[in-house]
Amino acid sequence: MKVKVTLFMLLMVVAAGCTAAGNSESSAGEFSEPLSNQVEVHDHDTAAEANGHHHGGDHQHEHLDEATSTAEVQVVLVPSELAVGENRMAVGLLDGDKQMIHDAQVHFHYFDLADPAVPRLEQEVDAQRLQAPDGYTTIYAHSRTFDRAGEWGLEVQVHLADGQTAVERIGFHVASESVAIRPGDIAPSLKTPTLTTVDGEFERITSAWEPNPAFYQLSLDEALSSGKPTVLLLATPAFCQTRFCGPAYEILSDLQARSGETANFVHVEVYSGLPDPTVNDWALSPAMDAFGLSTEPWVYVMGSDGRVLYRAEGVFTPDEIEAFLPS
């Protein structure tokens, strides 16, 4: 009799373990800290390697079982802030060798962690694969509206091109308000450097290897009062400190060549001490402060009335920006 009771108790423990493993409402402890998109030190070689810049469809989703996943994947959270309202949730993926994963189908499961002891599966959706035109930078994104501040979790389900799968969970915080200028706000009207104010010396106004003069004809305040939409890029091509920044400057140059007649294009450097930002200890430019930003790169699209229509941090594609410009 004693043997039967012991065996019964053992079976109950095994069954409980199986139930927990199969429960979609995962325990809060399973949501780990994501890798940051920000590089901690100003190391140009490290940043370039992380960005991969050495050389300058809908589907039926199959829920993955973490226990049978075969690939090692790390998740990088691209946005530096998430706030109540609409956000562009985006992640980058690194494989076991810390190389960027470019070809995958990714599915998001959002968990409400209002009660950390009982995570609640709140939404699941396919993430959109966004790749920079040079093919070296890829993120997986989704436009997500958060209705409450607090702690949230994201389960990232990954189908790799070689048939392997991975499931990773990250936790993140949603703030009650954004500290930065966001869609719906009126963009700050301020004077930014132009070619005229720096006597035509590009190295004082941009760290780009091949500067586009069209970006420095108008100050931001002049662009915003011109009656045209304005695209503003806050980026530092030579000193990018993020893992997933992409060729933002080159993308905007191509857009300007196509849409420069119907919209203004302005680039402002992140750091104020060009050509050598170390001279003032990497102090941010006044425009970064005015927009409430401390990370890069960012692209903003303002309408003809100066109101922000769209913003994106990190990698963005031409299609994202052109959707808000006159055709």
pLDDT digit string (tens) for the chain, length 327 residues: 443 434 333 333 334 333 333 344 444 458 888 876 665 545 444 333 333 333 333 344 567 666 666 679 999 999 999 999 999 999 999 999 999 999 999 999 999 999 988 999 999 999 999 999 999 999 999 999 999 999 999 999 999 999 999 999 999 999 999 999 999 999 999 999 999 999 999 999 999 999 999 999 999 999 999 999 999 999 999 998 887 778 999 999 999 999 999 999 999 999 999 999 999 999 999 999 999 999 999 999 999 999 999 999 999 999 999 999 998
How high is the pLDDT of residue 4?
40
250: domain range?
Answer: 202-322
CA distance 84 to 192: 30
Q: What is the pTM of this model?
A: 0.81
- 138 and 55 within one domain: yes
- 160 and 214 within one domain: no
- 162 and 50 within one domain: yes
CA angle 278, 284, 286 (to 5 degrees): 135
Q: How many domains does the chain have?
A: 2
CA distance 271 to 297: 12
Answer for the pair 233, 266: CB distance below 8 angstroms, yes or no.
yes
CA distance 216 to 214: 6
End-to-end Cα spacing for the chain = 81
| CATH code: domain of residue 116 | 2.60.40.1080
How high is the pLDDT of residue 244?
78
Q: Are strands 230-234 and 264-268 parallel, antiparallel or unpaired?
A: parallel
Contact residues for 59 (Cβ-Cβ < 8 A; gap 6+): 105, 126
Beta bridge partners of 86: 145
Answer for the pair 157, 63: CB distance below 8 angstroms, yes or no.
yes
Residue 6 lies in a domain: no
Answer for the pair 245, 137: CB distance below 8 angstroms, yes or no.
yes
